[in-house]
Amino acid sequence: MYKGWLPALAGAAAMLAQTPHPQSTKYGVGRAATPEEIGAWDISIAPDGTGLPEGSGTPAQGKDVYASKCAKCHGGQGQGGDEGPLVGGKGTLASAKPLKTVGSYWPYATTLFDYVRRAMPYKQPGTLTTNQVYAVSAYVLFLNGIIPETAVLDAKSLPQVKMPNRNGFVGDPRPDVGPKRAAK
Ligand code: HEC
């Protein structure tokens, strides 16, 4: 029963081996990713804003983006609908019924940009322009009462937005992770 696919596999391996690249010498397969291919995946934004792209947006600009691309799932005011809420829950974290939202729980505003850009709208991720991501992030922060309606969010101002739960997290005290580990 194995006789059929073993030669087929060997044939496939031989085909792959015909397109070597500098880093493939070890296994003899694949090719180096192009800078463009790496760039398309290399979109992580650090908590301090490192990696934020050029562009900007205001809550007023984000209102329309939100209404047409987010409200259906997250509710007209971010209160939740078919999917979870993005707004509210402030002050509930220590209660018997904590409501974790962007406003009540997330420690960094920069994460909102990163998350929306990479994952939303849920069924069409990656379709928003940079300015739309800034704008709709601004609108969600505005709905949470964190920034005024006139605030302009960009690579400089977004990291400065102070989230209500910024200090609600504790560090990991284990010695084998984090900076202590890295210093070794
Ligand atoms: C088709 C429904 C749908 C649409 C449209 C949609 N979302 Fe979502 N959203 C989801 C789902 C489902 C999740 C949870 C995903 C998960 O946990 O993996 C989510 C999660 C989120 C979260 C994380 C919430 C949290 O606290 O964990 C944010 C922020 C968010 N969406 C923002 C947006 C924004 C902004 C838009 C519009 C640009 C949008 N979403 C459009 C379905 C949707």
Helix axes 59-69, 130-143, angle to 10 degrees: 100
What is the C-alpha separation between 167 and 117, in angstroms, rounded? 25
Which token pair is 125? 């991720």
In a domain, 168, yes or no: no
Q: Greater confidence, 67 or 1? A: 67
Domain count, the chain: 1
Q: How far is the CA of 168 from the centre of ligand 1 (A)?
A: 23
Which token pair is 64? 């329309």
pLDDT in tens, 82-135: 999 999 999 999 999 999 999 999 999 999 999 999 999 999 999 999 999 999
Which domain CATH number covers 121?
1.10.760.10
- Is ligand 1 within 6 A of the CB of residue 121? yes
Instruction: Flag whether pLDDT at 180 surpasses 70.
Output: no
In a domain, 86, yes or no: yes
pLDDT of residue 40: 86
Mean pLDDT of the chain, nearest integer: 88
pLDDT of residue 27: 83
In a domain, 18, yes or no: no
Which token pair is 99? 């409501």
Q: Greater confidence, 40 or 146? A: 146
In a domain, 32, yes or no: no
Whole-model pTM: value is 0.83
Angstrom CA distances, 146 to 74, 90, 94, 157, 175, stand at 18, 11, 20, 13, 35
With bands split at pLDDT 50, 70 and 90, how would you rate the model's confidence at 22? low
Q: How far is the CA of 177 from the centre of ligand 1 (A)?
A: 30
In a domain, 182, yes or no: no
Residue 33: strand, helix, or coil: coil
In a domain, 13, yes or no: no
Instruction: Flag whether pLDDT at 172 surpasses 60.
Output: yes
The answer to whether the beta carbons of residues 132 and 57 sit under 8 Å apart is yes
pLDDT in tens, 147-167: 999 999 999 999 999 999 999
What is the arithmetic mean of pLDDT over 30-37?
A: 92
In ligand 1, the atom with minimum distance to the C-alpha of 82 is 2
Residue span of the structural domain in which 118 resides: 57-160
- The alpha carbon dihedral of 144, 79, 159, 155 has a sign of negative
Q: Which of 2-16, 38-52, 117-131, 160-174 has the lowest mean pLDDT?
A: 2-16
- Is ligand 1 within 6 A of the CB of residue 115? yes
